[in-house]
Amino acid sequence: MHVQWNQYSLPLSTLINYIPVIATVITSVLSLVLARATLRYAEATDKSLALAREEFEREWSPELHIKLERLSANDARIVVTNLAKISVLLQLLQMRKTTLAVPFGRYFLNDPLVGGMTWTENIGKRLLACTGDDFEGQIAAAITFYASGRLFRTDWFRFQIHMSKGDILRIEPVNIAARRVRVLEPRTAETNHHHKVKDVTGEPVPVVGDDGDSR
């Protein structure tokens, strides 16, 4: 039996020569496994960074919410909420009937609004001037403001309003803005210098938007 074992057994030198080959194969397999795990980790990291970037932009990009509230038969108020962390400077309130192509009323403002806070103002007389004594339909409102040295404008927030003989009977929101705020004036070195030296009590220069109305 010992002789047969020697006949069918491989020489020791041959086994030693196969050891580097086997080690190379094992190393290649482990390298492929590690490479696949690294790719998965890189993909997970990219997704995490994308989510973090999106959250950062959502928190620090300017975004305002507009709401009209009925206080009494003769008065109403506008509530502007700053949904972002960045502070803004309110410049212009625009209100119009949805049947009109251009804003009916433009009211210049100069009020700061800290992130997460709200700004309110009574607009009973302004609303009556926009609608008239008898009106039932939709009114749209938008705010133009400065943030980070650039001029933005919100989308139009729509409200269903019923006026009868000068009395405010009903104010109900129709929908929220479909689009985020849009940049009306880009930030440049010239505009930054302009903002620093500009009298904040002066009227801002009207800006023409992409829908044709003056802002």
Least confident of 28-37, 77-86, 137-146, 155-164: 28-37
pLDDT of res. 99: 83
Q: Flag whether 191 is in a domain.
A: yes
What is each CA distance from 92 to 75, 143, 203, in whole angstroms? 20, 6, 9
94 in the same domain as 192: yes
Please state, in angstroms and rounded to a whole number, the distance separating the CA atoms of residues 215 and 207.
5
4-21 pLDDT, tens digit each: 444 545 577 777 777 787
83 in the same domain as 154: yes
Nearest to 156 by CA among 207, 69, 95: 95
**Structural domain containing residue 18:** 1-60
pTM (2 d.p.): 0.60
CATH of the domain at 149: 2.60.40
pLDDT of res. 198: 35
143-196 pLDDT, tens digit each: 999 998 889 999 899 999 999 998 999 999 987 655 666 677 665 544 444 443
89 in the same domain as 31: no
| The two structure tokens encoding residue 72 | 């009494």
Q: Flag whether 104 is in a domain.
A: yes
pLDDT band at 49 (very low <50, low <70, confident <90, very high): confident
Please state, in angstroms and rounded to a whole number, the distance separating the CA atoms of residues 172 and 68.
8
180 in the same domain as 98: yes
pLDDT of res. 177: 59
Nearest to 211 by CA among 159, 137, 155: 155
Q: What value does the mean pLDDT take over residues 54-72?
A: 85
Domain count, the chain: 2
Q: Show Cβ contacts of residue 87 under 8 Å, excluding neighbours closer than 6 positions.
A: 112, 113, 114, 115, 147
What is the distance in angstroms between the CA of the first residue and the CA of the last residue of the chain? 103
Please state, in angstroms and rounded to a whole number, the distance separating the CA atoms of residues 132 and 177.
25
Q: Flag whether 119 is in a domain.
A: yes
Nearest to 132 by CA among 100, 108, 110: 100
Please state, in angstroms and rounded to a whole number, the distance separating the CA atoms of residues 156 and 145.
14
| The two structure tokens encoding residue 22 | 């086997």
68 in the same domain as 98: yes
155 in the same domain as 143: yes
pLDDT band at 201 (very low <50, low <70, confident <90, very high): very low
How far is it between the farthest Cα atoms of the chain? 121
